[in-house]
């Protein structure tokens, strides 16, 4: 298939994080991101002082939050009627209602480009990066800034990363490059050194649905003994959750597909949409799987903290403090830390060709309970 960079809101380019999470609002402002940490304040100060960088790396545990912040920044620098301006007259906030803001948030602005992994392996290939570079090198057709956003920049393969280095070193004038990553340590050091790094942690990294799932899943750890049966019961609960995530991702991607609205389209175009649907479904499922495993990792961190008799105020998921205390009572700090390391290694393995069920089975069997 042809690797293309596409809008985040057009089919094949991912999902609309604002609409999907109920955040879309024409009047959204930077204050809506205040809970994403001090980096928001730093970014806003840079805007007000006309000291915005050319290349940023936004990292955090929630990719949808990172995408929303990148979208807000793109809208701000290109707003036509900004509520606040800098001393030089540049936009400091976005109005959310002008034609530029609306088109950026709808994924229709010709000068704002989003790059996502579209291959089955969820890797950004050099062909995609070169297309983005060519687009950013052109003068803006109407905006103040050309903006390129790389969603999941840690998925750049080595050739793609090296092709992108020169643009990072010598970015075109009136351009803004934003790399987004939930795993910045996977990026090449040469990429990291050329970006201004801003971290945007979210509260626990958990959504309400993830917290609900943990509330149903974690008690199985509290009740589990070290039997093989108990381990496979844990594995079964985790696989059922992941199966539901995949089904939801597939349903949402299918509903966005142009094929649902243009059934009389050319057969070749229908085939292209089908291929894009498969790639978009896999990308969205992997994102949700990663967030689910990260939620479990947050809880295992609480267990480790509890084994060291640290204050309860340090727990990130106080709603599960009783289960945390009971499991921690059976483990040493070294065992609890080994569980954290095991889950981290498992998540790294899932970025490779390893069979998902096998990797998770090994992890459940090796956990110290």
Q: Which domains, from first to last, does the chain contain?
A: 17-199 (3.40.50.300), 208-366 (no CATH)
Work out the percent of the chain whose per-residue pLDDT is above 70.
Answer: 86
Say if residues 112 and 100 touch (Cβ distance below 8 Å). Answer: no
Q: Which residues pair with 345 in a beta bridge?
A: none
86-143: pLDDT as tens digits: 989 999 999 999 999 999 988 889 999 998 876 556 788 888 899 999 999 988 889 9
Taking alpha carbons only, the member of 62, 320, 323 closest to residue 207 is: 62
Confidence (pLDDT) at 27: 43
Say if residues 350 and 356 touch (Cβ distance below 8 Å). Answer: yes
Taking alpha carbons only, the member of 176, 182, 134 closest to residue 155 is: 182
Within 10 Å of residue 216's Cβ, how many Cβ atoms? Answer: 10
Flag whether pLDDT at 19 surpasses 80: no
Say if residues 280 and 253 touch (Cβ distance below 8 Å). Answer: yes
How buried is residue 129: exposed, middle or buried, by Cβ count under 10 Å (0-12/13-18/19+)? buried
The DSSP output letter for 185 is G
Please work out, in degrees rounded to the nearest 5, the angle formed at the alpha carbon of residue 52 by the alpha carbons of 51 and 53.
Answer: 115
215-269: pLDDT as tens digits: 999 988 866 556 788 888 889 999 999 999 999 989 888 887 777 777 777 888 7
Query: Could you tell me the end-to-end alpha-carbon distance of the chain, in angstroms, rounded to an integer?
Result: 46
The runs of H, that is alpha helices, within the chain are 17-20, 38-48, 63-77, 99-105, 126-137, 158-169, 189-192, 208-217, 219-223, 228-256, 267-307, 321-328, 333-349, 356-366
pTM over 0.85, yes/no: no
Say if residues 120 and 285 touch (Cβ distance below 8 Å). Answer: no
Q: pLDDT band at 37, cuts 50/70/90?
A: low
Taking alpha carbons only, the member of 123, 131, 127 closest to residue 148 is: 131
């Amino acid at each position: 298939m042809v690797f293309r960079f596409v809008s985040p809101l057009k089919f094949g380019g991912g999902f609309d994080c604002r609409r999907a999470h109920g955040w879309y609002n024409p009047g959204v402002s930077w204050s809506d991101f205040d809970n994403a940490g001090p980096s928001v304040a730093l970014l806003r100060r840079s805007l007000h002082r006309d000291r915005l960088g050319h290349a940023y790396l936004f990292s955090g545990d929630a990719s949808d939050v990172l995408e929303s912040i990148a979208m807000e920044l793109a809208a701000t620098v290109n707003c036509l009627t900004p509520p606040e301006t800098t001393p030089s007259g540049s936009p400091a906030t976005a109005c959310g209602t002008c034609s530029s803001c609306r088109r950026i948030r709808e994924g229709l602005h010709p000068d704002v480009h989003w790059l996502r992994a579209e291959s089955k392996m969820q890797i950004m290939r050099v062909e995609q990066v070169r297309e983005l570079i060519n687009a950013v090198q052109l003068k803006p057709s109407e905006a103040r800034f050309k903006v390129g956003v790389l969603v999941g920049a840690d998925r750049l393969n080595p050739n793609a990363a090296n092709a992108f280095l020169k643009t990072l070193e010598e970015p075109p004038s009136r351009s803004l490059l934003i790399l987004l990553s939930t795993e910045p340590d996977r990026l090449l050091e040469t990429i990291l050194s050329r970006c201004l790094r801003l971290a945007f942690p979210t509260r626990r990294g958990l959504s309400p649905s993830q917290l609900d799932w943990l509330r149903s899943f974690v008690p199985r750890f509290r009740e589990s003994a070290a039997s093989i049966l108990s381990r496979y019961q844990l594995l079964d609960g985790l696989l059922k959750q992941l199966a539901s995530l995949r089904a939801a991702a597939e349903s949402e991607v299918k509903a966005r597909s142009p094929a649902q609205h243009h059934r009389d389209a050319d057969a070749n175009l229908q085939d292209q949409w089908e291929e894009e649907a498969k790639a978009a479904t896999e990308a969205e499922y992997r994102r949700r799987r990663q967030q689910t495993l990260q939620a479990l990792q947050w809880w295992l961190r609480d267990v480790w903290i509890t084994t060291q008799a640290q204050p309860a105020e340090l727990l990130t998921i106080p709603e599960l403090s009783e289960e945390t205390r009971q499991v921690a009572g059976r483990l040493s700090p070294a065992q609890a830390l080994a569980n954290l390391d095991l889950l981290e290694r498992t998540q790294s393995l899932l970025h490779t060709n390893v069979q998902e069920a096998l990797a998770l089975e090994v992890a459940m069997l090796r956990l110290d309970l």
